[in-house]
Structure 1
């Protein structure tokens, strides 16, 4: 059975976006970027909320991003390959290949997707990840923790979310960021 992995960048005080809704909290770093590309390379399906999908879709729809460097070209290739499921009640159409819209998160459908997948799935977006976590579907959380305090915004998981985690791996980067890989106990 494939794993469902929550992957996110997070500030040291626990936020994935600032109080204005910006995802641009985290400066570009080649080492972290290459690591993230390798982390996503094994995924066969990305599960996204609408806002994160719209933010990430440019990796397929804007060829200028891939043309910036070998690193960005590789990330664009890795992002383009998997299937994508976008959970949205408002999105009318998608702008990327291998992408479908689901109107509501259905834990049974995701459980079936995990059971039949040949490779792991990732979930992105705090709201969607919380639904998957509460349904007992998340197997691992991969946090890229950046040495930055934001002071407010959207937390990587909402208040009241509870789970017991086990540290499986860690990696420190030269810029002070840390990758923490946790497994969920009891999964």
Structure 2
């Protein structure tokens, strides 16, 4: 069975969106640090996405990515070519189509958990970026194998957590094993956990 990675950009106090659902705090991730770098340099980004065999989105995150990545000049954003090439799927019961550049990506209808479980049978490594509602369901079902956090040096005080409140309920639920931690320019912390 494949490995499913959930990656979230969160504030230092653990929020993935402000109370209105906004993600303006992401600006901290893309502001250059002292050496002109951001949260990940090109080589790191390319190596990170190169390990991915498929990308799974919820509808909201799909719209954000589809509005940006197919239009980006790969000479400027070197990772764009990889993102555009990797098989992509969106879980939605409302989207009529899912355009991506000159083509479309596959819409997975019905239960997002069942769809993700099927993808784990087909692909070795799947990543879910953002997609909070979908990620909540994947955590509840126990399908998340790794949690990657990019912690930005911002405090919101309130907002939307990156995981469902009930993920920690039950014996042994919600256990994480720290696998890697690294500081990045601009005060960004990159943390990788294995989900037990």
Range into which the TM-score falls when normalised by the shorter chain: 0.7 to 0.9
**Equivalent in 90, 103, 114 of residue 109 of structure 2:** 103
Query: Paired residue for 1:147?
Result: 153
Query: Paired residue for 2:16?
Result: 16
Which deviates further from its counterpart, 151-160 or 36-45? 36-45
Give per-residue Cα distances to partners, 1:61-89, cap 9 Å, x unaligned: 42xx326x63x2x1211211111111112
Instruction: Write the distance in 2 (CA, Å) between the matches of 1:173 and 1:158.
Output: 27
- Please state how far the C-alpha of 1:112 moved relative to its aligned partner: 3.2
Q: Is the 8 A contact 2:40 2:184 kept in 1?
A: no
1:122 aligns with 2:127: yes
SS at match of 2:187: coil
Q: Is the 8 A contact 1:83 1:98 kept in 2?
A: no
**Equivalent in 59, 77, 91 of residue 50 of structure 1:** 59
CA distance 1:113–1:21, change in 2 (3 Å): same
Unmatched 5+ stretches in structure 2: 169-173
- Please state how far the C-alpha of 1:36 moved relative to its aligned partner: 4.3
- Please state how far the C-alpha of 1:156 moved relative to its aligned partner: 0.7
Cα RMSD (Å): 2.0
Q: Is the 8 A contact 1:59 1:76 kept in 2?
A: no
Correspondence list, 1:1-187, <5 A: 1-27=1-27, 28=30, 29=32, 30-34=37-41, 35-62=44-71, 65-66=72-73, 70=76, 72=77, 74-96=78-100, 97=103, 99-117=105-123, 119-124=124-129, 125-162=131-168, 163-185=174-196
Instruction: Write the distance in 1 (CA, Å) between the matches of 2:47 and 2:17.
Output: 23
Number of aligned pairs?
179
Q: Which of structure 1's runs of 4+ aligned residues deviate more than 3 A?
A: 35-38, 106-109
Which deviates further from its counterpart, 5-14 or 33-42? 33-42
Q: Is the 8 A contact 1:59 1:79 kept in 2?
A: no
Q: TM-score, normalised by structure 2?
A: 0.82
Unmatched 5+ stretches in structure 1: none
Q: TM-score, normalised by structure 1?
A: 0.85
